Structure 1
């Protein structure tokens, strides 16, 4: 990316994505009001004061994103990395999938899977239509639409929020030689792609429960330079790695989709497989403890987007769970609609 890129160029690019996301949500809301007036009446409007706070938080996120690129945490080119091919290919399919989503919403049918989708071997809490997605996380269509749907939900800010894990990793990774980093619940590989750009020489690993999402991740990651990350289908509650194997572990947007016991199990597993002195970085939704002013958004999120474990998540003490597993030096950050916990395993 040429040196002539300016902060204004980046801000214009990001705000353009944000406005498109807002336009998409407005249009879908208007159509929903025609399709199902009762369902539309259940949605609570956000006050102008809260909208202003949300915009301020978005601006602060973009400022942090630009500053990290200026500091060399990652290349400026990453600021403009957008899955345009997927956008033009799959955006029409987002709309084609809407009638099924609205039907599930009307019928409150949250465990709706096609007969040809294998469901054996998954924990029961995973067999959900998270975000009202057709076939949950178990179809190629879901994997193809996921990143686009998340970008529309967050107005183009999903990747800037994901990138906030990179600076803490660079600050905490002191290992020399070959660094091994594991991304738990890697999904379509967006976080692994960011890690490859920030740590070009690292050995990257990823696990996910969904074969469809791992296929998508392999497809996307095979197109970027560097060693291909090693991906495995695995439950994060039973990570298939040796004790003390990784220098760092990341986990992005997983914990709000887990019941409480599973959250602790995942944290315990991450403690087991990270090296003494290694770092564990979590990125997930904001919580009541750090963003009480965002309660109107958090309070309706679980119902609007079918997140069955979210309401408990926003009051859960993740720091306490990390301490229970054995982590120390736990710190927290908040950027826009996401919260970050950075924890270290005690050095021997």
Structure 2
């Protein structure tokens, strides 16, 4: 009975987040069409049949998320973990930032940064307003708004998609048969720390590490992770093209929503760096956007995404063979999964 009530509570919780995301996008689209019609140029409407398919995949994701918690992959409290204080505090700023976003989008000003933002020292491909984020990934405001904006984008399922990395990671770590405190896991491009928070909830005694280019996002990650029981993850500002750890150091590596924001040659470099720092027998789990070969019926949504959200490397990513890239780097036994709007690669380094 308690289990049934928990499942019902979770479904209601997710449905509420989904409705919130839909309501926000509907209202903001109507306002954009009225106030800044040029900001949406080049997009195509989605058919009712396609919208129905997307909703069915969303429902399947929620069912899978509940099943993994029910089977003990991770505790059920993770299903309800949401930064409500941040959401209520920063949601008004999402609206206040929209006119600025629409103006940049209409005028295609993709490298605009505030005068107090330092952009030197970063790779050129990174100095962009990805998602039309004001100041890209380099400001405190961007870091405060990011998780809320991604949840709105995915109708409240961003964490559920992140959690699809937990089962293959947990299974991959079991081959070492080590105590949790001797196990090391790295999150490449950890951002605000949402994925690390999920891993920390599942494996509280595991030694967790995160690297990211943005000092602002790392500061946000420290805030997000400080109140979770267990060891505090070690966060380092670094480029994933040169991960600052010794060879064969980690037992598991994850990377979430990174590869579609990298130029093709950089994707290969990051994969090779991940291979270098992973122990023989270790597991590498990538979560990113769906690709055309897996979901051709969702092609209209994929075509809209880079137009609406300024993702300059996304179109190439949708046809890029990451399994081949992983194998070229030395990974073996590459498997893939698709859940809702995300695709997953699970790869091992030979023991």
TM-score between the two structures when normalised by the length of structure 1: 0.98
How do 1:48-197 and structure 2 match up within 5 A?
48-173=48-173, 174-175=175-176, 176-177=178-179, 178-197=182-201
- Residue 209 in structure 1 maps to residue 213 in structure 2: yes
The answer to whether the 8 Å contact 2:290/2:343 transfers is yes
Structure 1 gap segments, 5+ residues each: none
The total of aligned residue pairs comes to 346
How do 1:1-348 and structure 2 match up within 5 A?
5-40=5-40, 42-173=42-173, 174-175=175-176, 176-177=178-179, 178-347=182-351
1:8 Cα deviation from its structure 2 partner? 2.0
The answer to whether the 8 Å contact 2:252/2:284 transfers is yes
- Name the stretch that deviates more: 238-247 or 285-294: 285-294
TM-score between the two structures when normalised by the length of structure 2: 0.97
1:4 Cα deviation from its structure 2 partner? 6.5
Q: What CA deviation, in whole Å up to 9, does each residue of 1:215-246 have, x standing for no partner?
A: 00011111111111000000000000000000
Provide the C-alpha distance between the structure 2 equivalents of 1:131 and 1:103, rounded to a whole number of angstroms. Answer: 13
The answer to whether the 8 Å contact 2:201/2:228 transfers is no
Q: CA RMSD in A?
A: 1.0
CA gap 1:118/1:39 in 2 versus in 1, 3 angstroms: closer
Q: What CA deviation, in whole Å up to 9, does each residue of 1:170-208 have, x standing for no partner?
A: 112122131100000000000000000111110000000
Deviation >6 Å, runs of 4+: none
SS class of match (1:236): coil
